Structure 1
Amino acid sequence: MSKFGGAPKCPICNKSVYMSEEVVAEGYKWHKNCFKCSSCNKMLDSSNMAAHRNEGKEVPSLFCSHCHRKTHDIHKIAAPTTAASVGGPNACGRCNKTVYAAEKVVAAGKPWHKSCFNCAECNKKLESTTVTDNEGEIYCKGCYGAKFGPKGFGYGGGAGALTRTQ
């Protein structure tokens, strides 16, 4: 941060950050181009940013959520494996990994990660209004209808009318 009223300095490049180019996080103002993972250089935003404060350093290091989990998630590294951390009652219906409250969507009687909440057939992202399930698997309405809906002549024959053939 600037001490004498000028534009604040970016913690990465130490150049002035003006309003039109600023990203605010962790109490600092960053240039949009400097706001990237310090491990893989992926551009960050509020949905994938994680900060890690190292001892003795005032400015936190920025990471994408993937790199942060890989290098700084102490709970995953130090915690013993339990039924809850590998499957268990909070296991995702798609990947079978633990689903935490911040990423939880419930459908078909089980929890799902938001990133796993997609159609089993076409991989389309689902919402509570577009999800249908069959035997514990989730589908979009189109794929569900094609896979499990009625088949044969007379179904979907047009004008919303079903005809009967003998």
Structure 2
Amino acid sequence: MAPAVARGTIQRAERFPASSRTPLCGHCNSIIRGPFLVAMGRSWHPEEFNCAYCKTSLADVCFVEEQNSVYCERCYEQFFAPTCARCHTKIMGEVMHALRQTWHTTCFVCAACKKPFGNSLFHMEDGEPYCEKDYVALFSTKCHGCDFPVEAGDKFIEALGHTWHDTCFICAVCHEELEVVDFPV
């Protein structure tokens, strides 16, 4: 069995000359005597390897396998290729699925630095995706003492108009940790 091919991957059949080998055609299941094609792990009579929709010969052109049939690039693009959420063109090849939409891998980018995410983690803010670095730089609360982010689960103090890690709120003279006492107002 042939290895799985990612959806929308453009492929090409390989031509073989007539030989002592007599493969069975993937279309008509008859013995092939003479030149033949090999595509998708099967052999084909050259005249029987055609686009499932427009019947164009795929012997010397690229094709895409979809739903157990083969299509020329034009028919695949027209009937099956998803549309990119950013550039609104058809996606031929690798597809990124994110935020319940499809994207070219080069179109799904950080709202700040515009670099593609690939398979990296991203964060959402105001409906826009951000890479980890830009999200932290733009949106995280930073400790006034150490300038590192105050993350979920960190113990922190809000004092003197700033946010501090509890261990960073220290005396400027002796560097001892200070304890915050709430006085009734």
Q: Give the structure, 1 or 2, with the largest relative contact order (CA under 8 Å, sep 6 or more).
A: 2
Fold shared by both chains (TM-score > 0.5): no
The TM-score bracket by the shorter chain reads 0.3 to 0.5
Task: Give the structure with the larger strand fraction.
Answer: 2
Task: Give the structure with the larger helix fraction.
Answer: 1
TM-score (norm 1): 0.40
